Structure 1
Amino acid sequence: MGRSEVQKVGARGLLEEVTVSTIAEPRLMTTEELLALPEDGVDRELIRGVLRARPMTRRNRWHSTVESRLVLFLGTWLNGRPEPRGEIVSGEAGFVLRRDPDSNVGIDVAYVSPEVAAAEPSSPYFEGPPVLAVEILSPSDTQEDIDEKIQLYLETGVAVVWIINAKFRTVTAYRPDAEPIMFSGDQELTAEPHLPGFRVRLGEVFGR
C-alpha cells in the first residue's frame, strides 16, 4: 500500500497537508516473463496480466478417465472432418487468449481452429482462444475460480465452454450469446454449430 501527500483547506481556512493511503496497482506481466519463471511445482497463469499462482493441482482417477475418454471422442470426430481440421489438445494445453494485458491459461481439453493452430508454430503456447474449452473440476477448484475462468474464456472469444463435474456426471455448456445448458443422465453432448456433427452420450464419457 502506498502513501501520498495531498493538501486540503482546514477548519480555519488554512492549507493543511494530509497523508492518505493508496492501494498500489498490481504489476502486469507478459507471457514471455511468465515463461522465464523457474519450474518449481507451482501452477501459474496470467489473468488480464496479473500473475496467479497456486500449488500444482493433483489429478484423480475420475478426472483422468473423463479427460482421456473425451479426447478420444473428440479426436474421432475431428478425424472425420475435412482438411484443414485444427487440433484436439489436452493436459493443461497452454493458450495466450489475449494480449495487452496478457491472459495466459492452461486448459484441460480444447479444440483449436486451423487458424489458431497454424499461428506462431514455434511458440509453446497457442496464440488465440480455442473454439472449445473444457475444464474438468478438481477438488481444489472454488466457485469463484470457476466463474472467473468461464467469464475470461467467453470474453476472449471462446465459442463454447464445457464445465465437467465427474462426481455428479454433468456437463454445463456456456456460450457468449445464450443461457447455460446442463447435460446430464444419458443425454447426448453436442456443440452445434461449432463442432458440426459431434455427438456422444454422457454415459460413454463418464463410463458406465
Structure 2
Amino acid sequence: MTLTFEEFEQLPGEPGKMELLDGELIRLPPAMRRDSRIAHRLYDMLMTPVDQAGPAAGLGEVYMGMGFKIGLRDWLQPHVSIEHADQPGDEYSEGAPALAVEIISKSNTAEQVEYKVQTYLANGGIEVWVMYSKTRSAWVFRQGHAEEFRDVLRSEIIPGLRIDLGALFA
C-alpha cells in the first residue's frame, strides 16, 4: 500500500522515526546514542559558519530532525539539515533543504539511501552528506558529483568550512 503525504500526515504518532519514500511508509527505530551524539556535534559545528555565511550564501537555519515535505509522496527527516534562506512552506518545510545530512545505521538499506540522495538533489538540495560512523568517513553528493572524505570534510556551500571527521566520530 502506498500513501500520499496527506494520508501519511494523518497517521497516529509512534515511537521512532517515520519517513515516506515514494509513497512507502518507512518505520525506523529510535536513533542510537552514537548517531545522536554525532548529529549533535555536527549541528554544533555548523551553527557558527552558517550564521556567518547567512542569507548572503543562500542559507537559512540549521536543524536537527526537521522534516521536509518533498512533492506529494515524500517526507524525509535528515539527521541534520540547513534550509535555503527562502525555503518555502508554512506548516512544513517544502522541497529539499540546501544541505541534508544522513547518518547511516544498520536499519538503512542502500536503496533507501540512494533514493534519498537522488530525491534531495532533484528537489533543490545543493549538497547531501552521507556519514558512516563505522568507517569514520563521509560521502558528499552534489548534482553530478560525489566525493568521499576520510579526514577533513569540505563543503562548497559553506565557505571555508572544514569538519574534522576524527573529532566528529570520536
Both proteins in one fold, TM over 0.5: yes
Match in the other structure for 1:181: 147
* TM-score, normalization by structure 1: 0.73
Kindly tell me the number of residue pairs found equivalent between the two proteins: 168
> Is 1:206 the equivalent of 2:169?
yes
> Is 1:34 the equivalent of 2:8?
yes
Contact (CA 8 Å) 2:153, 2:164: kept in 1 or not?
Answer: yes
Match in the other structure for 1:107: 78
Contact (CA 8 Å) 1:166, 1:206: kept in 2 or not?
Answer: yes
Contact (CA 8 Å) 1:44, 1:51: kept in 2 or not?
Answer: no
Structure 1 counterpart SS, 2:14: coil
RMSD, aligned α-carbons: 2.0
Structure 1's 40 and 66: CA in aligned 2 closer, same or farther, altered over 3 A? closer
Structure 1's 64 and 174: CA in aligned 2 closer, same or farther, altered over 3 A? same
Deviation at 1:42? 5.9
Tell me the distance in 2 between the aligned counterparts of 1:34 and 1:137. 24
2:118 counterpart (151, 158, 165): 151
Structure 1's 82 and 163: CA in aligned 2 closer, same or farther, altered over 3 A? closer
Match in the other structure for 2:154: 190
Deviation at 1:82? 4.3
Q: Which amino acid aligns with 2:161?
A: F
- Give unmatched runs, 5+ long, in structure 2: none
> Is 1:63 the equivalent of 2:38?
no
Structure 2 counterpart SS, 1:197: coil
Q: Which has the higher helix share?
A: 2
Match in the other structure for 1:11: none
Q: Which amino acid aligns with 1:120?
A: G
Structure label with greater radius of gyration: 1
Contact (CA 8 Å) 2:68, 2:76: kept in 1 or not?
Answer: yes
2:103 counterpart (129, 132, 136): 136
Q: 1:5-55: per-residue Cα shift (whole Å, max 9, x none)?
A: xxxxxxxxxxxxxxxxxxxxx6551x233211111336433333x13232x
Tell me the distance in 2 between the aligned counterparts of 1:32 and 1:177. 32
Structure 2 counterpart SS, 1:74: helix
Structure 1's 137 and 27: CA in aligned 2 closer, same or farther, altered over 3 A? closer
Aligned sequence identity (%): 31
